[in-house]
Amino acid sequence: MAETLRILGIGDAKSRHFARWATRLAERGHEVHLASGRVNPREGELDGLVVHQFQDLDALLKVPLVRRFRMAPALTGLARRVQPDVVHSHYLLPYGYWTARAGLGPLVVSPWGKDAIVDAWQSPEAEERARVGIAPARALAYVVNSQALEDAAVRLGADRAKFHRIFWHARIDGYSPEHADRSRWQALGWPDDAVVCLSLRNFRPYSNLDVVLRAFAKARQEAPELRLFSSAGGGWTRDEFDRLAAELGVEPYMAVRDVPAAELPSVTASADFAVTLADVDSSPASLLETMASGVALVVGLAPSMDEWIQQGEGGELVADRHDVDAVAAAMVRLARDAGLRRSYGERNLREVHARFGDPTAQLEQVYREVLGR
């Protein structure tokens, strides 16, 4: 895209995914402004971006009961000062809702996953606010990363003709099998013949990490060479996770590390296979990055997951993601068969690169179309 745009993103600046969307565009030379109630504490991830915290727009936004009445005029005032060419709202609740209430535009909307597939339907009020966030009367385009997410947004009232499938939330260009470094497992005291299972998800109830732990403990009875590495970087169920690990007696055979972004490509490529059993997601970045690392997968069937992994195609697909025995059997199958792991990993590498494209160029094309309207 030849011309430089001024883009205003409304979302959660503490989210690594939101920062990735913004950084992609800033690296291409666009002027990117972010409006958010939170900022990302990780050093350097918001460099090159202009961040506007809600609390700085209006002091009354610090007052919870008053915020709902002040947010729309605060965002309207910000847009008046920034004068964006395009506004892109990320996540329906609350950011899409606030953006729609403020009447900002030209508007591009991105529901993310759980917000449209689950959260929007949990109460009549949530559904109503999510429908406002979709803003079907004003949104000129929708950007999603899975068919499941598109279908959920259409059920909320979005126009299917306005959808674009773009994997803007992942940076697979930095991921490759070449980044593998088995010495990191030796540094943990694990044996040379350890088969390392990488857990991809953060500590949240819907990540089903309790099932991962129970399945791992059961699988080790048949494949004692198994080790578990969790790259979870946050969430609120860590205490429960640690208690269950102690109860199952698997602590000596596992490690949990909040891995810096710069080290994630090496950690991912060094694993023998990875597991994800989340109840809901939409083409998660960790899944695509694992595929780009040439790593086999154990995946619990859930919305969007079967768009990438089918049974025998890239991994073991467990129909019931809460079935400990089935997950354990999948882990044992991969632990015992290096050739199967290799063939799955090679397939995943081919598949993700064939479908990924150039997300930044695709975003620019969407904005060009929006401005053309």
Under 8 Å between Cβ of 348 and 297: yes
* Rounded distance between C-alpha atoms, residue 224 and residue 46, angstroms: 43
Numbers of helices and strands, H then E, in the chain: 15, 14
Other beta carbons within 10 Å of 105 = 17
Q: What pLDDT is stored for residue 276 in this prediction? A: 97
What are 92's two structure tokens?
Answer: 């329906």
Domains defined for the chain, CATH in brackets: 6-167+357-372 (3.40.50.2000), 173-356 (3.40.50.2000)
* Rounded distance between C-alpha atoms, residue 298 and residue 274, angstroms: 6
Instruction: Say which residues have a Cβ less than 8 Å from residue 209's Cβ, sequence separation at least 6.
Output: 199, 201, 203, 230, 232, 237, 241, 277
Q: Would you put residue 208 in left (φ > 0), alpha (ψ -120 to 50) or beta?
A: left
Torsion of CA 40, 41, 47, 52, to 10 degrees: 50
Under 8 Å between Cβ of 331 and 226: yes
Q: Point out which residues pair with 203 in neighbouring strands.
A: 235
Q: Quick: pLDDT tens for 61-84.
A: 887 777 888 999 999 999 999 999
**pTM reported for the whole predicted model:** 0.91
* Rounded distance between C-alpha atoms, residue 276 and residue 22, angstroms: 27
* Rounded distance between C-alpha atoms, residue 151 and residue 290, angstroms: 25
Per DSSP, the residues of 4-21 read --EEEEES-BT-HHHHHH
Q: What pLDDT is stored for residue 1 in this prediction? A: 46
Under 8 Å between Cβ of 270 and 257: no
Q: Quick: pLDDT tens for 254-306.
A: 999 988 888 999 999 999 999 999 998 899 999 999 999 999 999 999 989 99
* Rounded distance between C-alpha atoms, residue 145 and residue 341, angstroms: 26
Low-confidence stretches of the chain (pLDDT < 50) are: 1
* Rounded distance between C-alpha atoms, residue 274 and residue 292, angstroms: 12
* Rounded distance between C-alpha atoms, residue 362 and residue 185, angstroms: 38
Residue 275: what are its φ and ψ, rounded to 5°?
Answer: -130, 140
Residue 15: what are its φ and ψ, rounded to 5°?
Answer: -80, 130
Instruction: Say which residues have a Cβ less than 8 Å from residue 233's Cβ, sequence separation at least 6.
Output: 202, 258, 259
What does DSSP assign to residue 37? S
Q: Which residue in this structure is represented by tokens 């385009």? A: 141
Q: What pLDDT is stored for residue 213 in this prediction? A: 97
